[in-house]
Structures are given as structure tokens and as C-alpha cells.
Amino acid sequence: MFDYIAERVIKEGTYIIETGNTVRATAAHFGISKSTVHKDVTERLKEIDEQLFEGVREILDKNLSERHIRGGMATKNKYNGRGVNQVL
């Protein structure tokens, strides 16, 4: 694996651990595609840093389990005129 890819993967993993953000938010932050971030943190990171991978996996699993709740809140806010990212 190229060094620049390994650096990017570690930066993405660290960012997810520090912020608890989703793959989508991480992709937006780094200016790369969601597919790239997903491949980086689910496949490449395991080869580079097993411990960081486990931490990222926990956060991604948590985000996955909460996905339906965030979607419901976004829809509720949309129809209440608050916008998607505004808190109740």
C-alpha cells in the first residue's frame, strides 16, 4: 500500500474516533467519496492499525444502529419547517 493512502486511512480513522462522525460526514470533511472512506475504514485500516480499526468499528456500528432515528428526525424537522440539521 502506498504511504499516502496509509496516512489518509489513519487520519480518517482518527477523525471518526475523535468526532464520532458518520462515513458521510468524514467524506465531506476530507473532500473524498463515501465509498473511499468506507473502504478505508472497513478494509484498509484493519491491515494498518488493528486497535484503531476496532474503535472505528464501534462508532460505525453505533451510527448504523441510530440511522433510522436520525432519518426520522430529519423528516420530522423537514415537515415542521425547521430544516434538516436543526435541533428540535
In angstroms, rounded to a whole number, what is the distance separating the alpha carbons of residues 72 and 69? 5
User: pTM for this one?
Assistant: 0.78
Q: Which amino acid is at 62?
A: K
* Strand, helix or coil for residue 6: helix
pLDDT value of position 66: 83
The string of pLDDT tens digits covering residues 35-65 is 999 999 999 999 999 999 999 999 999 988 8
Per-residue pLDDT at 43: 96
Q: What is the mean pLDDT of residues 24-40?
A: 97
What pLDDT was estimated at residue 50?
96
